[in-house]
Amino acid sequence: MKVLIHKEKREVVDGREFIVAKAKQYFVTDLSKDVHTLYGTISQQDLSKPSGSVIKSDNGKEFFLLDASFIDIYKRFRKLPQTIPLKDIGLIIGETGINPQSIVVDGGLGSGALAAALAHIAKHVFSYEVRDDCIATSEANIKMIGLTNITVKKKSLYDGIDETDVDLITLDLPEPWKVIPHCAKALKTGGFIISYSPSVPQVMDFVNELHKHDQLLYLKTVEIIERLWEIEGRRVRPKSTGIGHSGFIVFARKIRA
Ligand SMILES: C[S@@+](CC[C@H](N)C(=O)[O-])C[C@H]1O[C@@H](n2cnc3c(N)ncnc32)[C@H](O)[C@@H]1O
């Protein structure tokens, strides 16, 4: 898979700067065909050039060719239910310190976005899901990105967790408090739980249930607000569009065997 990037082009006319060609990216999955773009056709032969090559379309427009990286492919995932945005995934990875030795239990799998981001770093991810359409979509996404360390399980997390000695359990389902007793059994001492919920009542019920379990320590609840900025010469200001509220991330830890 390849990525073709056409950079924005500007021209100054009568002292004023105009965008004459907008920035555009193309994700190419079929390398056996020419690619038709807004700025002309890229020939199939050029797609086999090394990553970083500068190639031209049939009408002379310049493109940068890159091998598709993990994140390029990840951004092409087909999405069914709401997925966790990267801003929140970054904090989950940072705060729990998962690494190539980590075992993770995740659920619900949804479109497999969080499971894939975690499997990119961890040793193995076991992800639970109850819906067949989500399992089919996420399995296609996992195959597309080439991950082989995710085990998809058709099972409700409310009924229990099969794994033990788990480093991290990520909960992104409607009633996460129902999974807390199973987390206490499945986690290794020092392991983390994160629960991701869009609404305040879910956070309240989850944290109140956590407090009933001596083995578990409630750490904190975080909402990440991401604000994009527009930089146009000296006109620098926050963008008026962007991700609004996504979800609250609750962190907890198992502190006793
Ligand atoms: C918001 S989505 C999860 C999105 C996922 N984290 C991602 O990044 O793509 C919630 C998922 O939880 C699943 N689910 C609901 N109840 C469940 C349960 N008891 N056990 C496992 N999965 C469940 C739903 O079918 C749905 O796919």
pLDDT tens-digit series, residues 126-142: 999 999 999 999 999 99
pLDDT score at 243: 66
110 lines ligand 1 (CB under 6 A): yes
**pLDDT, average across residues 42-50:** 96
Confidence check: pLDDT of 242 > 80 = no
Domains of the chain: 2-68 (3.10.330.20), 77-254 (3.40.50.150)
Which residue type is seen at 227? R
pLDDT tens-digit series, residues 19-41: 887 889 999 999 999 999 999 99
Residue 130 CA to ligand 1 centre (angstroms): 7
Confidence check: pLDDT of 180 > 80 = yes
Per-residue confidence band for 188, with pLDDT thresholds at 50, 70 and 90? very high
Which residue type is seen at 175? E
Confidence check: pLDDT of 143 > 80 = yes
Report the distance separating Cα 36 and Cα 29, nearest Å.
13
172 lines ligand 1 (CB under 6 A): yes
Higher pLDDT, residue 11 or 209: 209
pLDDT tens-digit series, residues 55-101: 999 999 999 999 999 999 999 999 998 899 999 999 999 999 999 99
Q: What is the DSSP string of 10-54?
A: EEEETTEEEEEE--EEEEE--TTS-EEETTEEEPGGGGGSPTT-E
Confidence check: pLDDT of 17 > 70 = yes
Q: Lowest-confidence range among 15-24, 147-156, 170-179?
A: 15-24
202 lines ligand 1 (CB under 6 A): no
106 lines ligand 1 (CB under 6 A): no
Residue with CA closest to ligand 1 atom 13: 108
Do 128 and 106 meet the contact criterion of CB atoms below 8 Å apart? yes
pTM above 0.85, yes or no: yes
Do 193 and 216 meet the contact criterion of CB atoms below 8 Å apart? yes
Beta bridge partners, 104, equal 125, 168
- The mean pLDDT value of the chain amounts to 95
pLDDT score at 120: 98
pLDDT score at 9: 84
